[in-house]
Structure 1
Amino acid sequence: MNKKLLIIGFVWPEPQSSAAGSRMMQIIEIFKSKNYQITFATACTKSDNAFDLKQIEVQTKTLLLNDSSFDTFIKKLNPDVVLFDRFMIEEQFGWRVAEQCPNALRILDTEDLHCLRRGRQQALKDHAVFDTSYLYNDTAKREIASIFRCDLSIIISEVEIKILKEQFHVSHDLLIYLPFLLNSITLKSQRDLPNFKNRKHFITVGNFLHQPNIDGLLHLKQNIWPLIRKKLPKAEMHIYGAYVTEQAKQLQNKAEGFLIKGFVEDINSLMQKYKVCLVPLRYGAGLKGKIIDAMLNGVPCITTSIGAEGMYGDLEPNGFVEDQTKDFADKAVELYTNKFFWNGKQKLGVTIINVRFDKQLYTNDFLLKVENTQKNLNYIRLHNFTGSMLMHHTIQSTKYMSRWIEEKNKK
């Protein structure tokens, strides 16, 4: 009999809108490869951009928050594995899963370390250098507690694995590194990519509801683009992404060649028209889907140390990494105008995808870790006393708060 996986989502997967959506589809694909019966459940309203999971034979369920109907649902489903999409979902439903299905393996998909992103954002606001004092914030207290309560946590970045081990003393047994999972780029695909001569303009991509993207966009418009435009007066900056806000629309300036393009369904064919991708992130965490898309489509990048974090390992980047505004702009101009540099950086992007993100490198190890954790679940939980203690107190506090809200909503 096939095993059952329940995924409790923060939102419905939108692979065309965000890297998180693509990431969720990759995780679903892994479990489908082992013939898991998969149910995706969420309390979020489905948008027009949501992927139709029924196309890939994934069952769906709409949940109610703070409602005991979930207890009935999960007890009847009786999943072998429950995956929480971000720590906020584990906070909401983790204790219910533990009570109704105590033998189910509980996995947390962090997406990225929210506490790291939040700490960097605060440091930027304070005009200060980020250090560990910014890392130990209130979000960290919630997120790290969630990691300890779960049997296994999926971490997308090697840098974040290191932070969890060294700064928060999370055991290696509770963590697994799982970056973006991609098909390798074949020689034929490389040859089919448009060359330097057949590309023009700059591109950047990002969901407009994601605050690091908005901050980066403002930085690009106000500080970086004027320097580039001065040297390349015919070049244009094209900005793509889902959920364009009014704030973003107001940044458009045709006279300056700064154009807000909005949502696009096929990012791959679009990106192959552009010469250089700019990713001027000043804070954030995790891996950057926009850089992945650029490498897949042969577009060299200029990014910051935040954008580059966890992407390249010991390999050379598919462009340049610059944190200073003038250096960022200068390298963008150099890459845009120098065919020799451009060709070399494009090839480096292919190497990075094939060496660091080929899904064949990680899928079997991930499934083996899940299987071994399931087999040794009692032992792992017995030796994760911190997690057991946190689950005990969560059930005592969150449980009764949720029950109170449920009763209040009946009135």
Structure 2
Amino acid sequence: MASKKFTRKIDKMNDKVCYRLVHKYYLWKEGVTKKLVDMQLIRLLSKRFFYLFILLFRFNKYPRKVQYMMPKDFAKRLLGLYHFHKAGIPRKLRSYPSLVFPVFEAPEVTIIIAVFNQWQFTYNCLKSILEHTGDIPYHIVVVDDGSADETASCLQHCENITVIRNEQNIGFLRSCNKAAGGVRSKYICFLNNDTMVSQRWLYHMVNVFKLHDDAGVVGAKLLYPYGLLQEAGGLVNATGEPANYGRWTDPREYQYNYLRETDYCSGACILIQTQDFLTLKGFNEQYAPAYYEDTDLCFAARFRLGKKVFYQPLAEVVHFEGISSGKRAEKGNVKNYQLHNAKTFVNTWKSYFNRFSDSNLFDNQVDKFSRNRKRILIIEGFLPSYDKDSGSRRVYELIKIFFSLDLEVYFMPEFGGAVEPYYSELVTRGVRVFYEQQYLKSKQEMLREILPVIDYAWVARPHSNEAHASLIKEQKNIVWIYDTVDLHFLRLERSLAYDQSQHITKKDIDVLKEKELALSREADVTVVVTPFEKNILIKAGTKHVKVIPNIHPVKKGTAFPSFEEREGLCFIGGYEHLPNVDAVLWLVKEIMPLVWTQAPGIKLALLGSHPPPEVLALRSDLIAVPGYIHDVSSYFNNSRLFVAPLRYGAGMKGKIGHAMEYGLPAVATDIGVEGMGLEVNRDIAVANTAETFAAEILDLYSNRERWMNIARHSVETIRRYSPEVVQGLVKELIMGVAKQ
């Protein structure tokens, strides 16, 4: 373990040195700095070779893929210059393989690419689209703006795309407007031909519109081919001067990896709704032939349509900048229009520049659109896998509530990294996720950077609160909210009382109990999920306790299948939670044999993630153990009963509420329904022995009238845990602690 920690530390230090080498070299190569060789470079190279020497004798696997390469490339790798490498410059080929694009009956996005010569870059761009855009229906329109090279002839070998040929060069802006006039898809994506897209790039951009009704324009994260950041959205200061945020820095840094409102995004890759583009009459032709048309479009979307401009970090696009127009404004090249159009832009929009910030410093412009919002930091064990366990689902619903209360949401998982699809969905919703593996910093280092801007720290479970309480308390402006999720000591006390052979002693539980109670007294507010647990804490001397229960969205206007259309039983639970394993073993070994004696054909589905060997061994002709299923609605809609024979545990059981969302009558134990305020035989059936549990299953399974009564009341009762109701509780909590 010590050797792994040591090599991980060396990996981080080596990574930082490589970044500094790449940064220094390319700033010199781009002409930003004149001096390359100096003492700093010598020190960096010395560190690089020292770390490489250590890594040759590492005790565990090197984290990066080792590849064979040409001597020149090997030398760059040795110097650290390939550490962030994304793509090589496309080379001209004697012949180019044909590209056959898919045909979609109703494309959601039209990708418009205006090109002028440079066929090898256009081909590289088209090939990357074909390889990385399989999850969104799209169609490509290429506007050949009078190319004189092989572009026209080679485009004939690209199947299922539309090619528009301009006999004379009319420029980027007019070519895009010309192509957009015939678009029928919901969205238009403008993409430069000197780009190379990455996996799911278009999906992530479209998803911003689907999760944010007020989205007007969405732009991508642009990277240089050597791996440094080119743009994480564009900023405009109070005098109208623009800048590409993050240029030539490390694209993995936290500040470049959350969805952010921004002033503009580069037209190298932007997405807009077709109707909005047409309403604005396309790119403003006063900027023809090119430059500032993208900035002007973003300002028009915000200030004329009342919509927002978003930078989407998940959509990564390599941009070979300046291939057609040059990198610097010089007499005779297209880039020279940048200087003229800058004045036009300022004159058009000067009354809007200081509406959100009157600063000329670009660092002050980054979060100007959210400056007046309060900020809440959530610390949890993992990213919320909302389709796998009820605790995660509660956190996920709380995040949506925090946004509805106009809070900026930060999230730090204690363990794991960017687990998909949960990471991408959180980022696209606007959550600022930061985690140890990505940012090459410890959790303590990251928290020291983030906490000064945080207003509320919502920290779940005792171990996280114990680990970070001292740092949180250093910030006098932060309200510390301790979310117990459930009282761990109570769950373990019940577990030990149920089974004396547990690998935990009464003394261990007492130590944990004292720790939990001390934290609850120390925090500004302690959150529990049931009134039962609230009373326990109040009796133990905790003053500020709030109940924030599980959250169950109501399925409005849904017609559920009838009694006659359903059959079988189902259970759901994450099997890493031991009470769920115990429940299904008791169900199958003691309860179901009694049921099958009188109703031998009833089938049982044991749903849930991570089933252990003892659960998998229960499979039979009557018992299905499908493992993790993303969408379990078919089971809840088609089963006649839900069963939850929990014999120990604590907190509110999300599985019961989940069944009630679907109007699915349930049989549970007293432990299962604890804290929900359910009325027995009205909202649910309750039994606590194998015999009575089996009897309830048999009666409710065959008694249509009783089944209909519980099904109807289930849907009515679960409304008390709807997002709208819980939002009121959260708002009361937030406003209450803000006044203390």
Tell me the TM-score range normalised by the shorter chain.
Answer: 0.7 to 0.9
Structure 2 unmatched runs, 5+: 1-371
Residues 680 and 686, structure 2, Cα contact 8 Å, conserved in 1: no
Tell me by how many angstroms 1:43 deviates. 2.8
TM-score under structure 2 length normalisation: 0.47
SS in structure 2 of the partner of residue 196 of structure 1: coil
- For 1:313 and 1:258, the matched residues in 2 are separated by 29
Task: Please give the residue correspondences for 1:53-68 in structure 2 after superposition, counting only pairs within 5 Å.
Answer: 53-63=426-436, 68=444
| Corresponding letter in the other structure for 1:369 | L
Identity of aligned residues (%): 24
| Corresponding letter in the other structure for 2:381 | F
- For 2:732 and 2:538, the matched residues in 1 are separated by 21
* CA deviation map 1:188-236 (0-9, x unaligned): 33xx110000000000000010011011111111111111112111111
Q: Which residue of 1 aligns with 2:739?
A: 375
Residues 228 and 332, structure 1, Cα contact 8 Å, conserved in 2: yes
Tell me by how many angstroms 1:371 deviates. 2.0
Residues 548 and 729, structure 2, Cα contact 8 Å, conserved in 1: no
- For 1:373 and 1:315, the matched residues in 2 are separated by 36
Q: Which residue of 2 aligns with 1:32?
A: 403
Structure 1's 69 and 241: CA in aligned 2 closer, same or farther, altered over 3 A?
same
Structure 1's 135 and 269: CA in aligned 2 closer, same or farther, altered over 3 A?
farther
SS in structure 2 of the partner of residue 283 of structure 1: coil
Residues 682 and 709, structure 2, Cα contact 8 Å, conserved in 1: no
- For 2:509 and 2:612, the matched residues in 1 are separated by 31
Q: Which residue of 2 aligns with 1:112?
A: 486
Q: Which residue of 2 aligns with 1:385?
A: none
* CA deviation map 1:29-79 (0-9, x unaligned): 22111221111112311444635311201011003897641353234x520
Q: Which residue of 2 aligns with 1:310?
A: 675
SS in structure 1 of the partner of residue 378 of structure 2: strand
Task: Please give the residue correspondences for 1:1-150 in structure 2 after superposition, counting only pairs within 5 Å.
Answer: 1-46=372-417, 47-48=419-420, 50-51=422-423, 52-63=425-436, 68-75=444-451, 78-99=453-474, 101-126=475-500, 137-150=510-523
Root mean square deviation of aligned Cα: 2.2
Residues 119 and 137, structure 1, Cα contact 8 Å, conserved in 2: no
* CA deviation map 1:297-317 (0-9, x unaligned): 121111100001112345755
- For 2:414 and 2:681, the matched residues in 1 are separated by 42
Are 1:327 and 2:703 matched, yes or no?
no
- For 1:321 and 1:259, the matched residues in 2 are separated by 24
Find 2:526's aligned residue among 153, 157, 160.
153
Structure 1's 206 and 275: CA in aligned 2 closer, same or farther, altered over 3 A?
same
| Corresponding letter in the other structure for 2:588 | K
* CA deviation map 1:169-189 (0-9, x unaligned): 322xx1111112334454x33
Residues 538 and 545, structure 2, Cα contact 8 Å, conserved in 1: no
Query: Does 1 or 2 have the higher relative contact order (CA < 8 Å, sep 6+)?
Result: 1
Q: Which residue of 2 aligns with 1:389?
A: none
* CA deviation map 1:70-119 (0-9, x unaligned): 353234x52011110212110111111112x2220111111111111111
- For 2:531 and 2:507, the matched residues in 1 are separated by 20
| Corresponding letter in the other structure for 2:572 | V
SS in structure 2 of the partner of residue 89 of structure 1: helix
Structure 1's 317 and 290: CA in aligned 2 closer, same or farther, altered over 3 A?
farther
- For 1:373 and 1:249, the matched residues in 2 are separated by 47
Are 1:279 and 2:649 matched, yes or no?
no
- For 1:293 and 1:249, the matched residues in 2 are separated by 23
| Corresponding letter in the other structure for 2:638 | K
- For 2:541 and 2:476, the matched residues in 1 are separated by 25
The structure where helix makes up a greater share of residues is 1
| Corresponding letter in the other structure for 2:734 | V
Residues 74 and 97, structure 1, Cα contact 8 Å, conserved in 2: no
Structure 1's 41 and 232: CA in aligned 2 closer, same or farther, altered over 3 A?
same
Structure 1 unmatched runs, 5+: 128-132, 377-411
Are 1:170 and 2:535 matched, yes or no?
no
Residues 122 and 134, structure 1, Cα contact 8 Å, conserved in 2: no
- For 2:702 and 2:681, the matched residues in 1 are separated by 20
- For 1:81 and 1:25, the matched residues in 2 are separated by 17
Tell me by how many angstroms 1:324 deviates. 1.3
Are 1:361 and 2:735 matched, yes or no?
no
| Corresponding letter in the other structure for 1:107 | I
Q: Which residue of 2 aligns with 1:210?
A: 577
- For 2:579 and 2:572, the matched residues in 1 are separated by 12
Structure 1's 165 and 314: CA in aligned 2 closer, same or farther, altered over 3 A?
farther
Residues 485 and 528, structure 2, Cα contact 8 Å, conserved in 1: yes
- For 1:224 and 1:347, the matched residues in 2 are separated by 26
- For 2:519 and 2:682, the matched residues in 1 are separated by 34
Q: Which residue of 2 aligns with 1:402?
A: none
Moved more, 146-155 or 300-309: 146-155
Tell me by how many angstroms 1:359 deviates. 3.2
Residues 410 and 431, structure 2, Cα contact 8 Å, conserved in 1: yes
- For 2:522 and 2:644, the matched residues in 1 are separated by 35
Structure 1's 39 and 289: CA in aligned 2 closer, same or farther, altered over 3 A?
same
Residues 377 and 409, structure 2, Cα contact 8 Å, conserved in 1: yes
SS in structure 2 of the partner of residue 198 of structure 1: coil
SS in structure 1 of the partner of residue 564 of structure 2: helix
